[in-house]
Amino acid sequence: MAKSKEKTSIEKVLEFVKKNNIKFVDFKFMDFPGQWQHFTIPVSEFDADSFVDGYGFDGSSLRGWKIINESDMLIIPDANTMFVDPFVKEPTISLICDVHEPATKEKYSRCPRNIAQKAEAYLKSTGIADTAYFGPEAEFFIFDDVRFDSTPNSAFYYIDSEEGRWNSGSDLGPNLGYRPRYKEGYFPVPPTDALNDLRNEMVLKLQDMGIRVEAQHHEVASGGQCEIDMRFESLLKSADQLLMFKYVTKNTAKAFGKTVTFMPKPIAGDNGSGMHINTSLWKKGKPLFAGGGYAGLSDEGLYFIGGILKHAHSLLAITSPLTNSYKRLVPGFEAPVRLAYSQSNRSAAIRIPMYSSNPKAKRIEFRCPDPSANPYLAFAAVMMAGLDGIINRIEPGEPLDKNIYDMSPEELQFVPTTPESLEEALRALEADHDYLLKGDVFTEDVIRTWIDYKMAKEVKPLAVRPHPYEFEMYFDV
């Protein structure tokens, strides 16, 4: 008896829609800076042709994209990305989409998801590896109250958290006193960790959406800093899942009457939120970073580190892409500000985890990035920098197996530092981006648009506005 033909992913989506009485289909796609956008159609407007013809939208209304006289664009859903949306009242599936040019049906060169797909194709074309795995550790804050405003004659922000140490003296009727101390929020049990149940609810929703979660815990900072660790996946899938992760954490918190931010440094004087990127290359099912060198690394693993360290200044313009990112990358708060590598050393920009001797677990951890990054661009850029290191056999130099925070200025004078501002990182990207252009992964247009957008929309507007703390320092001059 002949075997039945296996259903395609499109057929599986259409069958699921029919069997589960789905009412709406929500299309999610990425804008240029890194925020998910969406629109929804009734299921009556959804069929197999949706995956070929796509749906039109106005590209001029999205940040960093088309001008108004050439604004027509298409999104075409990827059938492999379907999940049931747990935050919509009526039965709804979500599909992640690629952005296309309507006249040619070619993928739009500034579509971040397209850049990630081109990065995976370029990796295979090199013959070095066929898969790049990424495991992001995205930290975030959960707050109870957030207010901010900026006008020509005023500017302020106010954030609050029931578990913030600053509330130890507040009259909360009663104040029960269990709050993490500043820089001591790592792993306390409840009741000091007041957010365990909320994180568990986030984990359950992530699992329902098909995302494997390894652990959840409180992070170092007081005031609601948390982390949920997802299992590593291939570059594109990991980026897709990180956006699902943000969607789940924000909407679950909202259902609990709280709010989530991935802003890197929302609290002065305590640790900021990073996104340590764990990555490794594989070929034909075998890990390429395991070997007999330093920390159990292969030559490929060491050269990969060399590429990241060489291009770190320009790379951070993409992986640490906010002006606020560089308020996190300062000494004293566990953020890595020295461009060095080391085994098990969390004060270095690149750490080689030593938890396991299994070659399959051998990876590097790039610790400078933060969760404000556009994951498609960030993961692609990290891989391209590392591949440049392998192709050109870039030595990473000697490891730094010391606590960098305790080293003297004399010892540190030859250890390069991260950029001190987004503008400095963008200038570095302007001068150093040839490694990103290989395989047409990034294009000159993408790099130029990224730099121009960030300078015009973020760097310059902040530079010309008085800062509230300047009144503290200067009002009485």
Q: Is 179 a catalytic residue?
A: no
Q: Is 139 a catalytic residue?
A: yes
Q: Is 31 a catalytic residue?
A: no
Q: Which of 110, 113, 165, 276 is catalytic?
A: 276
What's the chain's Rg over C-alpha atoms? 23
Q: Which of 144, 193, 219, 388 is catalytic?
A: 219
Report in angstroms the alpha-carbon separations of 386 from 190, 231, 278, 366, 379. 41, 21, 13, 11, 11
Do the beta carbons of residue 40 and residue 25 sit within 8 Å? yes
Q: Which of 346, 427, 430, 432 is catalytic?
A: 346
Q: Which of 85, 98, 139, 163 is catalytic?
A: 139
Q: Is 470 a catalytic residue?
A: no
CA distance 376 to 118: 10
Kindly state the tokens that stand for 166.
Answer: 């600053």
Q: Is 367 a catalytic residue?
A: yes
CA distance 238 to 394: 27
Q: Provide φ and ψ at 191, rounded to 5°.
A: -85, -5
Buried b (16+ CB within 10 A) or exposed e, 429-441: beebbebbebbeb
Q: Which of 365, 388, 423, 458 is catalytic?
A: 365
Q: How many CB atoms lie within 10 A of CB 320?
A: 26
CA distance 149 to 313: 32
Q: Is 433 a catalytic residue?
A: no
Q: Which residues contact 334 (CB under 8 A, 6 or more apart)?
A: 220, 271, 346, 347
Q: Which of 311, 367, 423, 458 is catalytic?
A: 367
CA distance 115 to 161: 38
Q: Which of 120, 227, 233, 334 is catalytic?
A: 227
Q: Which of 31, 78, 85, 137 is catalytic?
A: 137
Q: How many CB atoms lie within 10 A of CB 163?
A: 23
Q: Is 201 a catalytic residue?
A: no
Q: Which of 15, 58, 72, 214 is catalytic?
A: 58
Q: Is 165 a catalytic residue?
A: no
The sign of the torsion formed by the CA atoms of 406, 410, 414, 418 equals: positive
Q: Is 231 a catalytic residue?
A: no
Q: Which residues are catalytic?
A: 58, 137, 139, 219, 227, 276, 346, 365, 367
